[in-house]
Amino acid sequence: MLLPKKNTPRSLIFIIDIFICIFSIFIAYLLRFNFQIPEIDRNDMPFVIGYIILIRAISFIIGKTYAGIIRYTSSKDAQRIFVVISIGSIVLGITDIITYNLQAKLIIPTSIIILDFIVTVFMLVAARTIVKVVYYELKNPRRDKTKVIVYGAGEAGVITLRTLDKDAGAKFKVVAFVDDDKKKKGKKIENVKIYHTDELDELLKESEIAFIIISTTHISPTKKQKLVEKCLSYNTRVLNVPPVSSWINGQLSFMQIKKIKIEDLLERDEIVLDKEKTFAQLKGKTILVTGAAGSIGSELVRQIIKFNPEKIILLDQAESAIYDLVNELKDRNQTSFEEVIADVTNQERMENVFKHFKPQIVYHAAAYKHVPLMEMNPSEAISTNVGGTKIVADLAVKYNIDKFVLVSTDKAVNPTSVMGASKRAAEIYTQAIGKNNKTKFITTRFGNVLGSNGSVIPLFKKQIEKGGPITITHPDITRYFMTIPEACQLVLEAGCMGNGGEIYIFDMGESVKIIDLANKMIRLSGLTVGKDIEIVFTGLRPGEKLFEELLNNSENTIPTHNKQIMISKLQSTDLEQVKIEISKLIEMFYTQDNVKIVRQLKSIVPEYRSNNSIYESLDNPQINS
């Protein structure tokens, strides 16, 4: 139905409000005198009506009650009307008191003032509400509306309902609230019934629910996963209301209600950090973060800022990424930043960084991490992941750094790739060098992080946006996942508790089948596997594992006070022998002989067995002999 797009003129609203006030006075008189107004009061009515209307008109102009758009009337508009009418009625009451003291007579009966106040407020609010309801019913006929359930019948749920009502373009109809609180079951909010979560299956079966909107932030990751799985089984899509802190000017808008992301379903319960210990270690310190422009490095910087260090040195060879990071962080707090463009493999440049800035703690996140690329470029993997780590670690010892925290990977466990083995070699060197030095060397090891550069999730998103296909290397491949903030929080925690020599392993939760992940992402996008998007298997890439591990077979795990962090104790290594072998490996960079480099890497990391790689022949004793 065609409806006028222009808003009603303010002057017309003002005039209508005045007529409503006149009508309200008549109703007040009729109610006061039981519909039989005495002659004396009828004679006074013209003056009374004129005076009341004068007060109301002045209060409307001051309070601007006519300025709102009627079809968007909200509770705030009702509050404004209540306040404005209240002030006007108080003025009428004060007038009565003054005239009574002067003439011993009430111009306006007190009962009329009270009744007029009640009737006026009611009629002004009711008129606006009726216009709003009629407008939306005409614009969005009930049969055309998309059925929606709001999960969470708290304050955020009510705001979500009102936001949907306000947004004419959405054509949504909230048919039910669902809440865990059994006390709310059967009650109604703005004429929408509240159901318990146990009744959700029945609601989804009986009605064609297009969307469920999760309005509450107080829902555990496990419960959210189960809710989404249930909704997807009924082809019901799930939307998410952002936290109140991200609402625009404290107001929720329809555009902020977004599709739930796969990252939301892979989250786990919030990590509880030992903030006192972290503050004690980081506050007032100068901290160097290598690889600061990367996914992990940049989030480490964001986390470290919260603990008020004196200075953070942001070191990376990616100038544009460092520039973007500094622009993001410069207004955060009083922490000063030093942007350093440098390559960790450049001995002279790194020496100058340590000499000039004198860092007290180093978080070493700079590394190459793409398995297939490093399989094709072993010399670069060795140069950066091993040689760069050696340079930074040696300088940490030389300049008496308090702590050196190495960010490693689960691919270093029983490695099957050059990348994983290079990270394991870096672990071996830092563990060995830290034995008899003041500097405490700590290694942190975890799996894939959600949203990192090169992660499978951004790749799948791009493939879905293009209409597919989604490419997966193997139907049985699994991976552990962790959010970037979660991983970095655990790195800080492990760095604080470490006394040197430990490898800290993070609890990555349950491993996830990549094909299940792809299926869920397709369904979350409202598409169908095999119909809208195809899944294609391309075969394992060079060096790729089917299953990731977090522990070597020879390692023992020791629990810590944080159940999400465990300590792995390795067998002791001979420092001098490690130094000789690592130096020999790094020197091989200049030969650019990939086979010799990988053979030497395998001698340093004996558990390294190549998988789906041209270097598998080096694992054959007959060929090696």
pLDDT score at 560: 66
Res. 558: pLDDT tops 70: no
284 and 251, same structural domain?
no
376 and 238, same structural domain?
no
338 and 246, same structural domain?
no
Neighbours of 129 (CB within 10 A): 14
Structural domain of residue 96, as residue ranges? 10-138
pLDDT score at 453: 60
The phi and psi torsions of 171 (rounded to 5 degrees) equal 55, 45
pLDDT score at 135: 67
300 and 248, same structural domain?
no
Instruction: Give the lowest-confidence range in 103-107, 410-414, 513-517, 576-580.
Output: 103-107
Mean pLDDT of the chain: 80
The tokens for 371 are: 């398995």
pLDDT score at 386: 94
Give this prediction's pTM: 0.67
| 182-191 per-position pLDDT tens digit | 888 888 887 7
Final residue belonging to a domain, choices 212, 233, 260: 260
Residue 406 lies in a domain: yes
Q: Contact, 562 vs 505, CB < 8 A? A: no
Sheet hosting strand 211-214, strand order edge to edge: 188-189, 192-196, 172-179, 146-151, 211-214, 237-240, 258-259
Final residue belonging to a domain, choices 138, 173, 197: 138
pLDDT score at 169: 46
Bond from prior residue into 378 cis (ω within 30 degrees of 0): no
pLDDT score at 494: 80
Residue 620 lies in a domain: no
Residue 268 lies in a domain: no
| 347-384 per-position pLDDT tens digit | 999 999 999 999 999 999 999 988 889 999 999 999 99
- Count structural domains, the chain: 3
Domain containing residue 392: CATH number: 3.40.50.720
Residue from 185, 285, 390, 411 carrying the catalytic annotation:
411
Measured CA to CA, the distance from residue 384 to residue 394 in angstroms comes to 14
Res. 621: pLDDT tops 60: no
Res. 179: pLDDT tops 60: yes
Res. 247: pLDDT tops 50: yes
Q: What is the DSSP string of 374-424?
A: HHH-HHHHIIIIIIIHHHHHHHHHHTT-SEEEEEEEGGGSS--SHHHHHHH
Neighbours of 576 (CB within 10 A): 9
Final residue belonging to a domain, choices 80, 107, 138: 138
Res. 21: pLDDT tops 70: yes
Which residue has better confidence, 108 or 287?
287
Torsion angle, alpha carbons of 363, 366, 370, 373, to 10: -160
Percent of the chain clearing pLDDT 90 (strictly above): 18
b/e per residue, 357-383, with b = 16+ CB within 10 A?
A: bebbbbbbbbbbbbbbbbbebbbbbbb
Residue 267 lies in a domain: no
Measured CA to CA, the distance from residue 250 to residue 159 in angstroms comes to 11
497 and 415, same structural domain?
yes
Nearest of 29, 28, 91, 13 to residue 58 by alpha carbon: 91
Res. 422: pLDDT tops 80: yes
Nearest of 552, 415, 414, 528 to residue 467 by alpha carbon: 528
Residue 265 lies in a domain: no
Res. 569: pLDDT tops 50: yes
pLDDT score at 388: 95
155 and 84, same structural domain?
no
285 and 402, same structural domain?
yes
pLDDT score at 295: 86
| 380-417 per-position pLDDT tens digit | 999 999 999 999 999 999 999 999 999 998 888 889 89
| Side-chain half-sphere CA neighbours of 528 within 13 A | 5
pLDDT mean over 12-28:
84
| 130-166 per-position pLDDT tens digit | 777 676 666 655 556 778 888 888 777 777 777 776 6
At 72, the pLDDT band (50, 70, 90 cuts) reads low
219 and 93, same structural domain?
no
Measured CA to CA, the distance from residue 122 to residue 81 in angstroms comes to 10
Res. 245: pLDDT tops 80: no
pLDDT score at 1: 46
184 and 301, same structural domain?
no
DSSP, res 435: T
294 and 209, same structural domain?
no
Measured CA to CA, the distance from residue 252 to residue 255 in angstroms comes to 9
16 and 37, same structural domain?
yes
pLDDT score at 257: 67
Res. 238: pLDDT tops 70: yes
Which residue has better confidence, 418 or 505?
418
| 427-457 per-position pLDDT tens digit | 999 888 877 788 999 888 887 776 666 677 7
pLDDT score at 129: 77
Residue 460 lies in a domain: no
Measured CA to CA, the distance from residue 534 to residue 512 in angstroms comes to 20
Residue 248 lies in a domain: yes
Annotation says 411 is catalytic: yes
112 and 32, same structural domain?
yes
Residue 457 lies in a domain: no
